[in-house]
Amino acid sequence: MSGGWRRRVAERCAEVAAQDRWRRPRPFDARGPAGPLTDEGRPVVAFASNDYLGLSSHPAVTAAAAAALERWGTGAGASRLVTGSRPVHHELEEALARHAGTERAVVFPTGFAANLGVLTTFGEAGVRICSDQYNHASIVDGARLARAEVAVYPHLDLGALDRLLAEAAGPALVVSDLVFSMDGDVAPVEGLADLCRRHDALLVLDEAHAVLGPDPAPSLEGVDALRVGTLSKTLGSLGGYVAGPAPFLELVENGARSYIFTTALTPPDAAAALAALEVLHGAEGGALLARLRAHVERIAPGHPSPIVPLVLGEESAALAASARLLEQGLWVPAIRPPTVAPGTARLRVTLSAAHTDEDVARLQAALSELSVPA
């Protein structure tokens, strides 16, 4: 039927718009959290970035990227296993392994690709993947692409996870965010590790948002574990990685399709991440972490992460609250289904060490005026 696909696409777009869930990216001309929304010329301070320590614009990080750009150009040109592996990729992997306290690390072009690669490599037919209900979309999609059976357990429910592991007919893999991206809460790492130890299951932890911890290493003794991370949040660059025992990482290099069949992480991004790691492990990194912790304490005392959810329920309420904040020059986009469950639309405030004390004070006052708990 002529024009059938055009009608189908138009109908689907209309459905999204009718649910008041239509979204579009907005041009934000910023270096750091402050800058203009150029589609309307409005200056704003954004409280929605994952650049938690502000390292994306740190002079040492940008200088390292510029030097790599001059030496190797804009792209790697091929996959890592063909001709795309530069010295900086290997230096970064060695630094990431030291950072995680593991034998090896392997970098991917994105954190999303890292989760896809790990779960499809180890989630073979006959394996049961046990996944937390609130895991990130990259974990959900990785589990779907794997040949394994997938069993989802209720959020943070160790009892339900124990039963799923006990009922597994073959090998099992437990996968969880360490810090959950929409609620900012923390996985019970010690409990997860105990269950994996007892059931001889592989534990995969996604540490993308764990800039303020917790450090899972003390709980992982005697557990086969893989630690997945991103270079685009704490480190302010782009890319992802998995760290763990050397044989596991060698299998990833030889089995992960999202590693084998894609062009390597760009050398400037790799160099930026390497420089950011050096900052993070120095005195300045400690000061940035302390500053971020202080910002969190002002908005949500005792909260374990820089992701502070303000759940408003209905989508209209979240959109209205976001619009009122934007009128005051504070950009906190509303988070709506399908990103979160129906009835849990929210403002998702993310804080950064790059925010000034004045920025945070303005946000705190504006949330108070909205009668939004902070």
Q: Convert the pLDDT of each residue in 293-329 to its tens digit.
A: 999 999 999 999 999 999 999 999 999 999 999 999 9
What's the pLDDT band for 374 if we cut at 50, 70, 90?
Answer: low
| Delimiting residues of CATH 3.40.640.10 domain(s) in the chain | 58-280
User: Is residue 256's pLDDT more than 90?
Assistant: yes
- Could you write out the three-class secondary structure of the chain? CCCHHHHHHHHHHHHHHHCCCCCCCCCECCCCCEEEECCCCEEEEECCCCCCCCHHHCHHHHHHHHHHHHHHCCCCCCCCCCCCCCHHHHHHHHHHHHHHCCCEEEEECCHHHHHHHHHHHHCCCCCEEEEECCCCHHHHHHHHHCCCEEEEECCCCHHHHHHHHHHCCCCEEEEEECECCCCCCECCHHHHHHHHHHHCCEEEEECCCCCCCCCCHHHCCCCCEEEEEECCCCCCCCCEEEEECHHHHHHHHHHCHHHHCCCCCCHHHHHHHHHHHHHHCCHHHHHHHHHHHHHHHHHCCCCCCCEEEEEEECHHHHHHHHHHHHHCCEECCEECCCCCCCCCEEEEEECCCCCCHHHHHHHHHHHHHCCCCC
pLDDT-derived band at 15, boundaries 50, 70, 90 = very high
- CATH entry 3.40.640.10 includes domain 58-280: yes
pTM above 0.85, yes or no: yes
Q: Where in the chain is the domain with CATH 3.90.1150.10?
A: 22-52+306-369
Q: What is the pLDDT of residues 64-98, one digit of tens each?
A: 999 999 999 999 999 999 999 999 999 999 999 99
**For domain 22-52+306-369, is the CATH number 3.30.70.990?**
no
